[in-house]
Amino acid sequence: MFTYIAKGDPDMARRRIKVLDTTLRDGEQTPGVALTPEQKLEIARALDDLGVDILEAGAAISSEGERKAIKMISRAGLNAEICSFVRAAKEDIDAALACDVDSVHMVVPTSDIHLKYKLKKTKKEVKEMALNAARYALDHGLIVEFSSEDASRTEPSFLLDILSAAVEEGVQRVCICDTVGVLTYEKSRELFSNLTAKLKVPVSAHCHNDFGMATANTVAAVMGGASEVHVTINGLGERGGNAALEEVVLALSQFYDISTGIKLKLLYSVSNLVEKITGMPVSPTKPIVGENAFTHGAGIHTHGVLAEPSTYEPIPPELVGQHRRLVFGKLSGSHAIESELKKMGLKPTKKQIEEIFNQVKQLGDRGKIVTDTELRAIVDSVLGRGFKETLKLEELTVVSGNRVTPTSSVRIKFGDKEFVESGVGIGPVDAAMNAIRKVVEGTANVRLVEYHVDAISGGTDAMVSVVVKLTDGKRMVTARGTSGDIIMASVQAMLNGVNRLLWDKQLRVKE
C-alpha cells in the first residue's frame, strides 16, 4: 500500500465493496459506440481478468446481436456474475433467461417526472408492475438487483416504499440511480445512510457525471453504507458518462483503505483496450488512465519528480499499470533534459547541455511539444553526430475514391538498395502506411504503436501535423510529419521515426 496519502475515516477501512461494471450496457449507450458480440466478449474477458464482481453484459431485449453477445459472455466461463439489464416486463426477463444470465438489473422509474411523462402510470400502478416482474424473475431462479431509476429526484417516501416492498418480495439487492447526476457529496451520503439503515439487503450506487460529480457521489454513497458501485471503464456512458471504475476504485483504496476485487495494475491496459474497441478517445487529462496522468513537462515539476517522484505524483504510475513520461517544450527545465541525455547514454559538456536546452525552448516557443526525434536531432547537431537518413522516400502514389479499394505504392531507398511495395487500407492514409510498413518490415523490426493527427489551422487547406509512436522492441520514439497533405504528413512522420530508430541503433553499435 502506498503511504504518502493520509487515509480518511478509519471505520471505513477493511470493507470490501462489490464492483458492477456496466461498460457493456450503460457504457455502450455512449453516442457513437456500438459493439459487435465478439468485441463485447473481448471486453468482458478483460473486465473479468480485471476482477469485476458483476458484469452487466447488455440488455437482452434490445436486439439479436445483443442476445448473441450476452449468451457468448454467459457461456465463456468467467468468474463474474453475468447480468442483463431488464425493464419490469415479462418479455425482457424471458429474453434475459434465454441468454443464461445469473442475474437481472431490473430498472423501475420512480420519480414523478418519469412516471408522468415516460410511463404515464400512477405510483400504485408502477409498484404493482415492478413487484410482479420481480416475482417472475425470482421464480425463474434469477438474482434480482432492483433499481430505482431517477431515485435522486424521487419523492423520498415513495422511494423507501417501493424499495422496501421489493425487498419484501425477495430481491437480493437494490440500486439507487442518480440518473441525471444531480446529487452532491453531502446529499449522496445522506441518501445512502438513510436507505441502507432501513433496507435489509445490499444497496448499490449508480451515479452519472452530468456535473462532474459521479466519482465523488459514488464514494459518498459508499461512506453512507452502499456496498456495491456501478461504474464504467473510462467513465463511458450517456451524456457526461457514468462514474469511472478507475477513479472510484482508486479513491476508495487510496483515501479510505476500502478494498475491491480490482487488480489495480491492469487498469491502464483495460482502459486502452476499451478505448481501442469502442473508438472513444480517452482525454489525455483523464485521471489515472489518461496519457498525461503521469506526464511531466514544466521545468519545476520534472525537476521535482526526478529528485523524488512523490513531489508531483500522488501515486506511483506503476500502481495502475502506467508509466512516468517527461515531455519537452518551452516550459522544460535543464534537469529533465540532462536526465533524458543520461538515459540516452550521453555525457555532454555543460555548454552543450545549455545549447540543447536553448534549442528545445526555441522549438517550444513556436507552440510545439518537442518529440523524441526532434530532441534527438537537436542533440545530434549539438554533439556533431550528424544524423543520416537511412530510408528515403523516392515516390509515393495513392489511389482512392468511392469505387476503389484505397491502394498505395511506395518506392523507398534504403542505403543503396531500392524497395517497391504496395498496400491497401480502409483509407488512403492507411494504404500508404501499410505500404511503408511492408518496406520497413523487410528492413527493420519496427511497430507502429500510436498515430495522432491534428489540423494546425482551420479549413480544408489546413496544415496537418501527424505524430506517430514507434518501437523496435528496445526503444520507443515519437516522430512528427507536417504537410498540407495528410498522406504526406503521415508518411513523413513514419519515415522520420523509423530513421531515428535505425540511426540510434547504429550509434549504439558504434558507442
Residues that bind ligand KIV (CB under 6 A): 26, 107, 147, 149, 177, 179, 206, 208
Q: Could you please report the per-residue DSSP string of 222-265?
A: HHTT--EEEEBGGG-SSTT-BPBHHHHHHHHHHHH--B-S--GG
Shortest separation between residue 511's beta carbon and Zn ion, angstroms = 57
Of 205 and 391, nearer to Zn ion (C-beta) is 205
CA atoms within 13 A on the CB side of 64: 0
CB 60 within 8 A of CB 70: yes
Site for Zn ion in 10-29 (CB under 5 A): 26
Of 134 and 446, nearer to ligand KIV (C-beta) is 134
Of 109 and 297, nearer to Zn ion (C-beta) is 109
Shortest separation between residue 179's beta carbon and ligand KIV, angstroms = 3
Shortest separation between residue 422's beta carbon and Zn ion, angstroms = 48
Picked from ligand KIV, Zn ion, none, the partner binding residue 107 (CB below 5 to 8 A depending on kind) is: ligand KIV
Of 151 and 223, nearer to Zn ion (C-beta) is 151
Binding-site size, Zn ion (CB under 5 A): 1
Of 88 and 493, nearer to ligand KIV (C-beta) is 88
Instruction: Output the residue with the shortest Cβ distance to Zn ion.
Output: 26
- Given the DSSP bridges, would you call strands 476-483 and 464-471 parallel, antiparallel or unpaired? antiparallel
CB 212 within 8 A of CB 240: yes
Of 148, 158, 5, 26, nearest to 83 (Cα)?
26
Q: Which long-range contacts (CB under 8 A, 24 or more apart) does 454-463 make?
A: 456/482
Shortest separation between residue 81's beta carbon and ligand KIV, angstroms = 16
Of 463, 500, 497, nearest to 480 (Cα)?
497
| Dihedrals phi, psi of 64, to nearest 5 degrees | -60, -45
Of 26 and 150, nearer to Zn ion (C-beta) is 26
Position 504 contacts Zn ion (CB under 5 A):
no
Picked from ligand KIV, Zn ion, none, the partner binding residue 391 (CB below 5 to 8 A depending on kind) is: none
Of 368, 308, 378, 367, nearest to 340 (Cα)?
378
Picked from ligand KIV, Zn ion, none, the partner binding residue 436 (CB below 5 to 8 A depending on kind) is: none
Inter-helix orientation angle 64-74/90-98, to 10°? 50
Of 109 and 321, nearer to ligand KIV (C-beta) is 109
CB 375 within 8 A of CB 340: yes
Picked from ligand KIV, Zn ion, none, the partner binding residue 149 (CB below 5 to 8 A depending on kind) is: ligand KIV
- Assign 3-class secondary structure to 60-94: CCCCHHHHHHHHHHHCCCCCCEEEEEEECCHHHHH
Site for Zn ion in 336-395 (CB under 5 A): none
Position 53 contacts Zn ion (CB under 5 A):
no
CB 187 within 8 A of CB 155: no
Shortest separation between residue 24's beta carbon and ligand KIV, angstroms = 13
Shortest separation between residue 466's beta carbon and ligand KIV, angstroms = 39
Shortest separation between residue 179's beta carbon and Zn ion, angstroms = 6
Of 128 and 238, nearer to Zn ion (C-beta) is 238
Contacts with Zn ion, residue ranges (CB under 5 A): 26
